[in-house]
Amino acid sequence: MKHLWMLAACMALLSADLAAQTPPAGAPARRFAPTYNTIEGQTIESRKPNNPNEVPAFREQTRAPYHKTAPFNVSVLLDNMHVPYSLAFLPDGNILLVLRLPGELRILDKAGNLSAPLKGLSALTSAKDFGLLDLKLDPNFATNHRIFFTTFDYLPVAPGGPPVTNSNTNVASALLDEATGTLTDVKVIFHSYPYLPSNRLGGKTGGRIAIARDGTLFVTFGDRDDDDVPWDVAQKLDNDLGKIIHITPDGAPARDNPFLNKPGVRPEIWAYGLRSPEGLAFDPKTGLLWNTDIGPQGGDEINIIKRGANYGWPIISYGIEYTRPAYPIGDNGIRIGNGTTSQDGMEQPVYYWDPSFTPSGLTFYHGDLFPEWKNSLLSGALSGQAMDRLEIRGNRVVAEEALLSELNTRIRDVQVGPDGAVYVLTDSGTGNPNPNTPFTSKLLKLTPK
């Protein structure tokens, strides 16, 4: 019986992740994947904003002009994965893959062979079904074999108790023995606070990791809100929801955190006021930390994350909130907060999309295979069904190009390999654990023509 509740909770997680892209029964049809404009100098977005009254804070903040770059080849490395989430490149040329549901780590070797699930994850939790999210190698992985990853974990249901499962995102580490396909010294190094009951089992889990030059970890956490009206936990500093935290490799608060030793404040918090932060990456040239944050209807953001900064959710936003059961669009939507898009003491996004784009995995292009992509930020998109290339100049988006939109599929993660190629994980969006259900998510490799 406990296994069934764990499975139900696991499925609820994926269902909530799709809720922002899938209208409820009886709702009017919506065009989720836009037809992108490909006329040089015009914006790629042709739809009207969900918020008709929005006024950008500066000219380059939204709807950047389209700029075409050279065509490329797309190779399919894997085409039968089950809900992938992230990947990392091992020193020997193999690829370490995260499958979100059920939580598995697998290795794809250079010959194209996919391993069985790595052993050892059972040390993390007593739940049979739990979710894995992001993955990063320790900067010294070649010598210490350490990996960091995030897991969406569940507390066990009390024997004989009600079917309520408390859950949240945690940060874990392990040592990888690639030869035996085994993880050892598997442990949670950071437990987020608080765990929430299943009625808040939303898809806003966060869980993206970025490792700084000094080896410390930055990790995103969503606000876990799945109700019709936003709640304000992202503005409160007594919890980790709607935050970016900063911890040491052992899970302790980093020494330069802005709220250390302040009563009633979580010492691991680095920045706050976020909704559903799904992308996190350092600019290798400037060292600045960039983030994507999924808004409600419209108002998906790109932010530069600053120490102690407040990014405004749910007080300010360029989007409008979902409503049930009518699921209206545009003028009929509910404004966020008092309808304003700016307020003193709250950061403006560097860029935002409206209508929704649902940005996901994020990286800067730093290879040599695509010279035209230098100084570009690459973002996956779920509802946008594209890999978006955003050309950055002076920390502003000056051009945009929606790539891979012809595939008509959700893009979950984007990474630049040691060879300079771009690796892309698609996400079919199905979490059906039935072994007879075909798995259609892919791992793609992009190389120049």
Residue 34 pLDDT:
79
Distances (CA, A) of 29 to 319, 320, 333: 19, 18, 16
Phi-psi region of 307 (alpha: psi -120 to 50; beta: other; left: phi over 0): beta
Phi-psi region of 65 (alpha: psi -120 to 50; beta: other; left: phi over 0): beta
pLDDT tier, 325 (very low <50, low <70, confident <90, very high otherwise)? very low
Which helix (H) or strand (E) is 418 found in, with range? none
> Does residue 202 register a pLDDT over 70?
no
Query: What span, in angstroms and rounded, lies between the C-alpha atoms of 210 and 143?
Result: 20
Domain boundaries, the chain: 2-27+36-448
User: Which tens digit of pLDDT belongs to each residue from 231-257?
Assistant: 899 999 999 999 999 999 999 999 999
* Single-letter code of the amino acid located at 20: A
**Please, what's the b/e burial string for 64-93 (b: 16 or more CB within 10 A of its CB; e: otherwise)?**
bbbeeeeebebeeebeebbbbbbbbbbeee
Residue 117 pLDDT:
95
Query: What span, in angstroms and rounded, lies between the C-alpha atoms of 156 and 164?
Result: 9
Average pLDDT over every residue of 47-54: 81
Q: How far apart are the first and last CA of the chain?
A: 54
CATH superfamily, domain 2-27+36-448, is TolB, C-terminal domain (2.120.10.30)
Average pLDDT over every residue of 281-295: 97
Residue 32 pLDDT:
54
Q: In what order do the strands lie in the sheet with 269-272?
A: 209-211, 217-221, 243-247, 269-272
Residue 326 pLDDT:
40
Helices (H), 285-414: none
Query: What span, in angstroms and rounded, lies between the C-alpha atoms of 203 and 12?
Result: 8
Average pLDDT over every residue of 261-286: 97
Give 35: exposed, middle or buried? Use CB within 10 Å, 0-12, 13-18, 19+.
exposed
- Return the minimum-mean-pLDDT range out of 107-116, 151-160, 357-366: 151-160
Residue 12 pLDDT:
40
User: Which tens digit of pLDDT belongs to each residue from 203-231?
Assistant: 789 999 999 999 999 999 999 886 555 68
Average pLDDT over every residue of 273-288: 96
Average pLDDT over every residue of 265-291: 97
Average pLDDT over every residue of 24-38: 56
What whole-number percentage of the chain has pLDDT above 90?
68
* Single-letter code of the amino acid located at 289: L
Instruction: Evaluate whether 271 touches 304 at the Cβ level (below 8 Å).
Output: no
Instruction: Evaluate whether 425 touches 411 at the Cβ level (below 8 Å).
Output: yes
Q: CB under 8 Å to 408, separation ≥6 — which residues?
A: 33, 385
> Does residue 10 register a pLDDT over 70?
no
CA-closest candidate to residue 156, choices 127, 191, 186, 198? 127
Q: Residue 258: what are its φ and ψ, rounded to 5°?
A: -75, -15
pLDDT tier, 419 (very low <50, low <70, confident <90, very high otherwise)? very high
Instruction: Evaluate whether 309 touches 246 at the Cβ level (below 8 Å).
Output: no
Please state the length of the chain: 449
Average pLDDT, the chain: 86
Which helix (H) or strand (E) is 67 found in, with range? none
Residue 366 pLDDT:
93
Query: What span, in angstroms and rounded, lies between the C-alpha atoms of 226 and 20?
Result: 10
Residue 109 pLDDT:
97
User: Which tens digit of pLDDT belongs to each residue from 60-116?
Assistant: 999 999 999 999 999 999 998 888 999 999 999 999 999 987 789 999 999 999 999
- Return the minimum-mean-pLDDT range out of 151-155, 255-259, 422-426: 151-155
Residue 30 pLDDT:
37
Expressed in percent and rounded to 5, the helix, strand and coil fractions of the chain are 10, 35, 55
Give the tokens for residue 414: 């984007």
> Does residue 345 register a pLDDT over 50?
yes
> Does residue 304 register a pLDDT over 80?
yes
* 320 vs 149, more confident: 149
pLDDT tier, 352 (very low <50, low <70, confident <90, very high otherwise)? very high
Give the tokens for residue 253: 């608060």
